[in-house]
Amino acid sequence: MSGTAGAEDGGTTPGPRRRGRPRRSPEDAGPGARERILQAARDEFAERGYDKTSMRGIAKAAGVDAALVHHYFGTKDDVFAAAIEISFEPALVVPAVLGQGGTDGIGERLARYIIGVWENPATRAPLLAIVRSALTNETAAKVLRTFVLRRLLERVAAELDVPDPTFRAELAASHMVGIAILRYVVKTEPLASADPERIVAMVAPTLQRYLTEA
Amino acid sequence: MSGTAGAEDGGTTPGPRRRGRPRRSPEDAGPGARERILQAARDEFAERGYDKTSMRGIAKAAGVDAALVHHYFGTKDDVFAAAIEISFEPALVVPAVLGQGGTDGIGERLARYIIGVWENPATRAPLLAIVRSALTNETAAKVLRTFVLRRLLERVAAELDVPDPTFRAELAASHMVGIAILRYVVKTEPLASADPERIVAMVAPTLQRYLTEA
């Protein structure tokens, strides 16, 4: 673990505390180093995309040595998977949203919740960044595919009482992904400026049908 | 127009005919030069994305001088708009598809037509490439926005007899875009391998409602 000496001061983004004594081991990187790396990874992937993001760049942004990033997360794909994990945190609540209150109004509840996540720039930006990475890199697409399937679609499917529940969940998800792309990325009007509730009103019956009607 | 001499032989992709005599003017670049540039532009944008594509790279791929690309198309944005135009050619038939046969079964006809375009790798690849460029570059997004609105959404809207027809057309479009992304890019199962007709059967009632029900 050579090269970690003074790493925290060597980065462009200084850590929360600066000390004169050089760092010598992962444990010395200070509390919150793992969390800081994770945030830096999310930001780097979001800003540069999968291809242009490097372990070294993430380390620099987090104010730690690259070896520490490897120590905590392994390969670049592992860091990307961890970045997906925190970017999708709001989406991981979806199975719980579906599980509450039965199937009545499930489409409307889901549409409103997802539009809410998209409407908040803080939760929208990292999600769009992940989609962007997946669209431009096959490895990133693969990591995303596994995550979305295991952590999201299959859990939503477990809450549904329809034939082919995963297929139904995917159709619902595809609609919400497409709306996000047209509304927030391509920004075609009037969808880009439409009141969120107007979108919810139109989309809710679609999701309701996919998720509940045999 | 200096520098066009021998341009056709200087590119990595030779033109259809090779001659010893150097080229001296746009007219001399040979028949089909404009078409060749357009195909090269589409391929370059598809392969490299908007950011990494250059006028020089397009010229090289087409086996012509960069000045000729400027001569025919103007700026990089103009070339990108032209590349969108030919990439979206199959989609531009949509208003006609809607116009035929009244509103009965309009959702099913549209879903089947669009899935058909996506299913064909030759028509799918350039479309995905345009979406990819728009997702990674704001200028590309802007050029796409204008095109999609003027040439596609507003024409589809003109065929509809519902309130807010452009909004309705956008909701339908968003669903098809999202399906393309999950099925062909992220490739989550079972959607990725589902029979196209199974998707049409589920999606048709959604499009029918958006496009015809007040």
- Cβ–Cβ below 8 Å for B181 and A177: yes
- Range of A56-60, A81-85, A137-141, B13-17 with top mean pLDDT: A56-60
pLDDT in the model for residue A83: 87
Q: Which two tokens stand for residue B196?
A: 């196209």
Distance from CA of A145 to the nearest CA of B (A): 6
A166, A173, A178: residue with CB nearest B177: A178
Residue B12's pLDDT band, with cuts at 50, 70 and 90, is very low
pLDDT in the model for residue A141: 87
Distance from CA of A175 to the nearest CA of B (A): 4
pLDDT: which is higher, B14 or A197: A197
- Within 8 A of B206 by CB-CB distance, chain A residues are 175, 206, 209
The amino acid at B170: E
Q: Which residue of B has its CA nearest to A200?
A: B171
Peptide bond into B190 cis (omega under 30): yes
CA distance A28 to A1: 12
- Cβ–Cβ below 8 Å for A148 and B188: yes
pLDDT in the model for residue A164: 93
Q: Which two tokens stand for residue A123?
A: 């939760």
CA distance A67 to A115: 39
- Cβ–Cβ below 8 Å for A174 and B171: no
pLDDT in the model for residue A18: 46
Peptide bond into A190 cis (omega under 30): yes
pLDDT in the model for residue A25: 55
Q: Does the pLDDT of residue A14 top 50, yes or no?
A: no
CA distance A15 to A36: 8
Q: Does the pLDDT of residue B192 top 80, yes or no?
A: yes
Lowest model confidence (mean pLDDT) among A93-102, A126-135, A200-209, B158-167: A93-102
Q: Does the pLDDT of residue A7 top 60, yes or no?
A: no
The C-alpha R_g of chain A, in whole angstroms, comes to 20
Contact A188, A139 (CB under 8 A): no
pLDDT in the model for residue A54: 93
pLDDT digits (tens, 9 = 90+) for B132-189: 888 878 888 888 888 888 888 888 888 888 999 999 999 999 999 999 999 998 899 9
User: Element (H or E) spanning A180, and its range?
Assistant: helix A165-180
CATH numeric code, A88-212: 1.10.357.10
Contact A49, A133 (CB under 8 A): yes
Coil, strand or helix: which one is A55? helix
B49, B141, B191: residue with CB nearest A167: B191
Tell me how crowded residue B56 is: count the other CB atoms within 10 A of its CB. 11
Q: Which two tokens stand for residue A68?
A: 């520490």
Structural domain spans, chain A? 7-74, 88-212
B170, B185, B202: residue with CB nearest A182: B170
Number of Cα atoms under 13 Å in the Cβ half of residue A175: 30
Residue A6's pLDDT band, with cuts at 50, 70 and 90, is very low
pLDDT digits (tens, 9 = 90+) for A171-199: 999 999 999 999 998 899 999 999 999 99
Distance from CA of A59 to the nearest CA of B (A): 24
B128, B145, B194: residue with CB nearest A188: B145
pLDDT digits (tens, 9 = 90+) for A26-67: 555 666 899 999 999 988 888 888 888 999 999 999 999 999
pLDDT in the model for residue A112: 93
Q: Which of A182, A207, A211 to mutate to test the interface with B (most CBs of B within 10 A)?
A: A182
pLDDT in the model for residue B72: 93
CATH numeric code, A7-74: 1.10.10.60
Chain A positions touching chain B (beta carbons under 8 Å):
49, 128, 131-132, 134-136, 141, 144-145, 148-149, 153, 164, 166-168, 170-171, 173-179, 181-183, 185-191, 194, 198-199, 202-203, 205-206, 209-210
The C-alpha R_g of chain B, in whole angstroms, comes to 20
Q: Which of A209, A25, A198 is nearest to A112 (CA)?
A: A198
**For B130, which DSSP code?**
H
CA distance A46 to A42: 6
Share of chain B above pLDDT 90, in %: 41
pLDDT in the model for residue A26: 53
What ipTM did this prediction achieve? 0.78
CA distance B98 to B109: 8
Q: Which two tokens stand for residue B106?
A: 């309009």
Helices B121-136 and A121-136: angle between axes, nearest 10 degrees: 140
Q: Distance of CA A24 to CAs A21, A28, A65, A80, B109, Å?
A: 9, 6, 10, 26, 66
